[in-house]
């Protein structure tokens, strides 16, 4: 049972940085770890993943000490299998009610924090070797990172009661689904709601989590998140490829144009 390095950094007050990956590539996971990212989030909400493939990506994450987090629907059976396989974090979107939030906690935590089905001989439990069942339950509850995503107006309206659900570590907001649930108003109105929500998360003692987008000024985005107290910042693997490709191609295209001119 491995320590959750991302959770450890957060407990020390540090910011952490991760990448959302929507494709099967253990080599990419290892590369992200070698580059110094803290965590990788596998998007099983929007993308198609084979569970056996996820297991190999978890092994790749362990090999490079990058925390494997699963973004999944609110499905206790799926959450159970991924945690047993070695996932160190569970990220569940579309949280609108206390009942939905509690369902996630129950699926992720053993007694007394939840009622996750007990199984201590999986790979996450070191195959039942070297630990008592009591030790496994205690360590798993301590090291698992639980992230809930609030991304609709109903969730914002219920945020105070959702934040009161115990044993949740972090909250993330989804600007695009929130924008849609608000009737697609001017984006500035959405960010007013988001900024208030992030402030409430921080004030409640939880870690706030947000995405970074390449279609905004990155310096301004970093300063804004730091000012709000955001601690987890995620960028998509797709955006990293776009950023890297533009940084590489732009000077070459400019040089080629000058040579031709």
Which tens digit of pLDDT belongs to each residue from 184-230? 999 999 999 999 999 999 999 999 999 998 777 778 888 899 999 99
Which stretches of the chain drop beneath a pLDDT of 50? none
- Degrees to nearest 5, angle at CA 26 with 20 and 31: 70
Looking at residue 258, its pLDDT comes to: 85
Total domains, the chain: 1
Buried b (16+ CB within 10 A) or exposed e, 135-171: ebbebbbebbbbbbbbbbbebbebbeebbebebbbbb
Looking at residue 6, its pLDDT comes to: 98
**Is residue 32 within 8 Å of 67, Cβ to Cβ?**
no
The two tokens of residue 82 are 């991924």
Single out the residue of 172, 170, 175 nearest to residue 153, CA to CA: 175
List 46, 111, 206, 253, catalytic entry: 46
Report the CATH number at residue 166. 3.20.20.60
Single out the residue of 229, 89, 219, 86 nearest to residue 148, CA to CA: 89
Please give the residue range of the domain that contains residue 9: 5-260
Q: Catalytic residue at 46?
A: yes
Looking at residue 38, its pLDDT comes to: 98
The SS3 of residue 91 is strand
The answer for residues whose C-beta is within 8 angstroms of residue 182's C-beta and 6 or more apart is 153, 189, 190, 193
Q: What is the pTM of this model?
A: 0.94
Looking at residue 214, its pLDDT comes to: 78
């Amino acid at each position: 049972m491995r320590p959750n390095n991302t959770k450890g950094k957060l407990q020390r007050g540090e910011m952490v940085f991760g990448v959302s990956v929507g494709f099967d590539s253990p080599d990419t996971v290892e590369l992200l770890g070698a580059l110094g990212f803290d965590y990788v989030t596998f998007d099983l909400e929007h993308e198609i993943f084979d569970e056996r493939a996820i297991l190999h990506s978890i092994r790749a994450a362990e090999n490079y000490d990058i925390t494997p987090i699963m973004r999944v629907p609110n499905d206790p059976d799926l959450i159970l299998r991924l945690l047993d396989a070695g996932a160190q974090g569970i990220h569940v979107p579309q949280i609108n009610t206390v009942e939905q939030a509690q369902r996630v906690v129950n699926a992720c935590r053993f007694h007394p924090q939840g009622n996750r089905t007990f199984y201590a001989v999986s790979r996450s439990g070191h195959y039942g070797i070297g630990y008592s069942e009591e030790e496994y339950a205690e360590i798993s509850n301590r090291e698992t990172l639980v992230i809930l995503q609030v991304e609709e107006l109903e969730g914002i309206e219920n945020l105070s009661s959702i934040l009161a659900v115990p044993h949740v570590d972090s909250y993330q907001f989804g600007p695009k689904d929130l924008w849609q649930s608000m009737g697609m108003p001017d984006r500035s109105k959405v960010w007013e709601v988001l900024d208030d929500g992030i402030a409430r998360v921080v004030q409640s003692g939880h870690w706030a989590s947000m995405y970074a987008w390449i279609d905004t000024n990155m310096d301004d985005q970093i300063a804004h998140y730091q000012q709000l107290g955001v601690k987890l910042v995620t960028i998509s693997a797709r955006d990293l490829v776009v950023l890297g490709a533009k940084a590489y191609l732009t000077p070459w295209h400019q040089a080629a144009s000058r040579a031709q001119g």
